[in-house]
Structure 1
Amino acid sequence: MDKITKQNALNAHTWVGVFLSVLLFLVCLSGTIAVFHFEFERWEQPHITEMENVSPEVVEKAMDSFLSRHTEESHHLFVVFPTSDIPRLVVENDHVAYFADNEGNLIEKESVSFTQMLVDLHLYLNLPHSWGMILVSALGAVICTLVITGIIAHKRITKDAFKLRRGGNGQQAQIDLHNRFGLWASPFHLVIGITGTYFGLAGIILIVIATLNYGGDRDAVVDQIFTPDPVLVPQEGKPAIGKAFAQMETLAPEKSPIFLTVHEVGEPEQFIEIYAKAPNRMIYAEGYRFDTAGNYIGVAGYENGEWGKQLLWSMYRLHFGDFAGLVSKWLYFVLGVMLTMLCVSGMEIWLSKKAHPPLASRLWYATVWGSVSALAFTAIADMFFTGSLVAVFWCLMLLNTGVTVAVKSLTKPMWLLISGLSVLMLLVAYVAVHGSATFTIASLQLNIPMAVYVIWSVYRARTLIKRASTEQAKVKKDKTGSAGQASQGNSAEGASA
């Protein structure tokens, strides 16, 4: 490939990354953490009864108790089974959700405000959903662009595949690490970018396909992707969800039921659908359908449908790594950290080439490490505050920006230290609020990684502070030595004269 093409690719890679650096970082950081969104839901309410399975009678009792308490109009009813990624029984409608114990008694209202804010940050950047998702999806396309232009711009991609130079001022090592992360994990980054782009642009794609091939009939396109609702004789009465659930042991004994939905509640077209996770398949789930009386109708046909339908139904698990339990989630977390660090190191490389302008550099570090601090304090606020967590998070981000402008000493190591101490404060607050429940699996699976982050961030901050002090002392010594030599030179000249 000629030098002009490589240079153009490098210019595109640089300026796209610089101008969208903050948005890309926030989407990548929140997405990396949101890989564990189910674990965060458990973490928010660690004292809830957990179980491995549940009987049809318990499911029926829990829903009956829920319906007697909540009579408001709702188009759907849901039951989340403990065989899903959350080992808890949840019954809900379109407005509210409750946990139930292993006897079918309602325990307390589901409250996962922090998790919802975190997922909303990743999917919509906390903007209105209609155009927030389009923006985030466009960023997915940008990630694909950065991966491709980065590979094209690489001058010696084969020779430098495993090169990592150390020494000097660290800039060369940072460039090498940036290039290695970008190259080694490029297949993952492309998968994340493509699937992320799909989620937001699916509506636009649907309109285009409907216009070109179906005379503008969007429903016809939807029916090709999502199996249409079954055509039934008019239904009435309370849905027999217990009877429907009991049949899953016979219909799909090898599958794990994830959740149950009652569609069009109270309407003549009401029906029950149970989504079950198919082993060794990437699709989200297969749908098993029943009429109101609990009689089996058939499957939705996602598991053995056309390849295009199976691909679209695999997008969720491909994007969030939810296909091989905690193994795939931790793999996605590590790869997500690499993608996030690409955003960080790319901007730091650009800043270093601009001689690290003080205010711009401090603002970047306030964004990177200050966002971790803002998330930690938002989680703390959720324990004592019932207002908008979106407002809390963005007010904290604005506060970080204002303080950084005002206080010149808030450099990279200081913000790194602040982020670690903020997470430590979150852990202390968590123990104070949840007490003995802090030591349940639901808590420890996230609290232990958070404690590891605290230790690493404090250690890393101290290392950077010591390094900066050593460099400052060396510079001061060099200046003093130069001044002394100049003074001796002047004295010698005077004596000679």
Structure 2
Amino acid sequence: MNKVTKQNALRAHSWAGVFLSVLLFLVCLSGTIAVFHFEFERWEQPHIQEMESVTPATIEKAMDTFLTQNPQESHHLFVVFPTSDIPRLVVENDHSAYFADQEGNLIEKESVSFTEMLVDLHLYLNLPHSWGMILVSALGAILCTLIITGIVAHKRISRDAFKFRRGGNGQQSQIDLHNRFGLWASPFHMVIAITGVYFGLAMVVMAVVAQVNYGGDRQAVMDQIFTPDPILAPQVGKPEIGKAFAQMQTLAPEKTPLFLTVHEVGAPEQFIEIYAKAPNRMIYAESYRFDTQGNYVGVAGYEFGEWGKQLAWSVYRLHFGDFAGMTSKWLYFVLGIMMTMLCVSGMEIWLSKKGHPVLATRLWYSVVWGSVSALALTAITDMFYSGSLTVVFWCLMVVNTALTVAMKGLSKSVWLMISGISVLGLLVFYLIVHTTASVTIASLQLNIPMAVYVCWSLYRANTLLKRERMAPSAKAQSGSPAQQTPA
């Protein structure tokens, strides 16, 4: 490619990144953390009894007890089975959810407010879902643009693939780090960006396809992707979910049942559907269908359906790395950190080229490290407050911004230290609130990584603080007449 094309690509890359840096950073950061959303659900209530398997009788008893205590009208009933992701039994309807023990007794109400806020931040930026997802998907499209323009603008990809220069004022090493992260992980970044676009723009694409090929009938397009509900004789009576679940051992002994749904509860079209994870397949699950009496009707056909249907049902696991247990999750976490650091380093490179405008630089650091602090403080608040965590998080972000404007001493090192102290505070309050449950697997699988972050952030903040203190004296010495070499 000629020089003009590379320069144009670099300009597009720079300005797209700068104008959307805050939104891209928040989506990338929340997505990186939300890779462990199942683990966070366990972490929020670590004392709940966990189990590896459950019997049909236990499921029946748990649901019967739940319906007795929650008689309100609901279109759906759900049973979440114990799996390696969440080894707990949950029964719920459209309004509430309760955990059950191994005997089918209800334990306590499910409360995962912080996890829900975190996932909502990633998927919708905490905006109304109807257009929040469209905005986030548009950011996915922008991310695709940044990846492509970044590669096009790179002058010597093959020669510089492993170059990392150190020394000087640090700008060159930051550029090299930005380029290396962007180049090495570009396939992953593109997969995340494209699947992110799919989540929000699928309905828009569906409307266009329906208008062009099906006379505006969106349901016809939906039926091509999602198998229509089975046509059954009018159903009456209590759904026999235990009988349906018992048959899974015969129908699909190699699959792991994830959850059960009773559709259209109390209506003539009521039926039972069990979703089971297929081994060595990327699709989210295959669906097994039963009538109200628990008689097997058939499968939805996602596992061996047309390639387009299989692809659509694989997007979730591909986007969140939920396909190879903790191995794929940790891989996605590391690659997600690289994507998040691309947002950070890209903005810092731009700020460096502009001479580090004081207020803009401080505001950027308040977003980067202040958002980590805000998330930690929001999680602490959730332990004592039952209101909206979305309001809490964004109020904390506004406070961070106001403090940054008002206090000139809030540099990068200070914000990094604040983030570390905030996470440390979270661990302390977590220990106080959950006591002995703080040393269960459900707790430690997140508390240990958070403790590692505390150690790293405080050490890094202390290192940066020393550099900041040394910088003025070094500058004064270099500018002193006694130190200057005569012309």
The TM-score, its normalising length taken from structure 1, stands at 0.97
Q: Does 1:111 align with 2:111?
A: yes
Mapping 1:281-300, distance limit 5 Å = 281-300=281-300
The Cα offsets for residues 457-490 of structure 1, whole Å up to 9 and x where unpaired, read as 00000111112222222112233x326879x99x
Q: Please tell me whether the aligned partners of residues 84 and 258 of structure 1 are also in contact (alpha carbons under 8 angstroms).
A: no
Report if the CA contact (8 A) 2:478-2:484 is conserved: no
Distance across 2 between alignment mates of 1:470 and 1:402: 28
Q: Matches of 2:137 and 2:263 in 1, distance apart?
A: 29
* Bigger mean CA deviation after superposition, 458-467 or 318-327: 458-467
- 2:416 is matched with 416
Q: Counterpart of 1:228?
A: 228
Amino acid at match of 2:457: S
Pairs within 5 Å for 1:63-212: 63-83=63-83, 85-212=85-212
Q: In structure 2, what is the Cα distance between the partners aligned to 1:307 and 1:190?
A: 21
Answer yes or no: is 1:5 the counterpart of 2:20.
Answer: no
Match of 1:314 in 2: 314
Aligned residues: 487
Question: Aligned partner of 2:96: which letter?
Answer: V
Which residue of structure 2 aligns with residue 492 of structure 1?
Answer: none
2:439 and 2:376 map into 1 onto residues whose CA distance is 19
In structure 2, what is the Cα distance between the partners aligned to 1:43 and 1:214?
47
Distance in 1 between residues matched to 2:233 and 2:418, nearest whole Å: 63
Offset at 1:84? Answer: 5.5
Unmatched 5+ stretches in structure 1: 490-497
The offset of 1:31, in angstroms, is: 0.2
> Structure 2 CA distance, aligned partners of 1:121 and 1:20?
16
Matches within 5 A, 1:14-33: 14-33=14-33
1:291-316 Cα offsets, whole Å, 9 max, x none, are 00000000000000000000000000
* 3-state SS of 1:90 partner: strand
Tell me, what secondary structure is at the counterpart of 2:160?
coil
> Does 1:51 pair with 2:51?
yes
Structure-2 separation of matches of 1:302 and 1:171: 50
**1:314-353 counterparts in 2 under 5 A?**
314-353=314-353
Matched letter for residue 359 of structure 1: L
| Distance across 2 between alignment mates of 1:484 and 1:188 | 51
Partner of 2:246: 246
The two structures have a TM-score, normalised by structure 2, of 0.99
1:46 & 1:90 partners in 2: Cα distance?
14
Per-residue CA deviations over 1:50-73 (Å, capped at 9, x if unaligned) read 000000000010000000001101
Deviation digits for residues 234-272 of structure 1 (CA, Å, limit 9, x no counterpart): 000000000000000000000000000000000000000
Contact 1:84-1:257 at 8 Å conserved across structures: no
Distance 1:473 1:426 in 2: 37
Structure 1 Cα separation of the partners of residues 477 and 418 of structure 2: 30
Which secondary structure state, in structure 1, belongs to the residue aligned with residue 259 of structure 2?
strand
Where 2:383 maps in the other structure, the secondary structure is helix
Amino acid at match of 1:157: I
The corresponding residue for 1:216 is: 216
Partner amino acid, structure 1, of 2:252 = A
CA–CA separation in structure 1 for the residues paired with 2:20 and 2:103? 51
What does residue 495 of structure 1 align with?
none
Q: Which amino acid aligns with 1:126?
A: N
Superimposed CA distance per residue, residues 310-366 of structure 1 (whole angstroms, 9 cap, x where no aligned partner): 000000000000000000000000000000000000000000000000000000000
Corresponding residue of 2:403: 403
Note the 1:379-458 alignment, pairs <5 A: 379-458=379-458
Instruction: Give, in angstroms, the shift of residue 83 of structure 1.
Output: 2.3
Q: Distance in 2 between matches of 1:84 and 1:161?
A: 39
Does the 8 Å CA contact 1:90/1:100 hold for their aligned counterparts? yes
- 1:468 alignment counterpart: 468
Q: For 2:476 and 2:187, how far apart are their aligned partners in 1?
A: 47
Partner of 2:366: 366
Unmatched segments (≥5 aa) in structure 2: none
Structure 1 runs, 4 residues or longer, greater than 2 Å off: 476-479, 483-486
Whether contact under 8 Å (1:283, 1:303) holds in the other structure is yes
Q: Give the whole-Å Cα distance in 1 for the aligned partners of 2:88 and 2:483.
A: 74
CA RMSD of aligned residues (A): 1.2
Question: 1:410 is paired with a residue of what secondary structure?
Answer: coil
Letter paired with 1:248: M
One-letter amino acid of the structure 2 residue matched with residue 78 of structure 1: F
8 Å contact from structure 2 (residues 278, 286) kept in 1 = yes
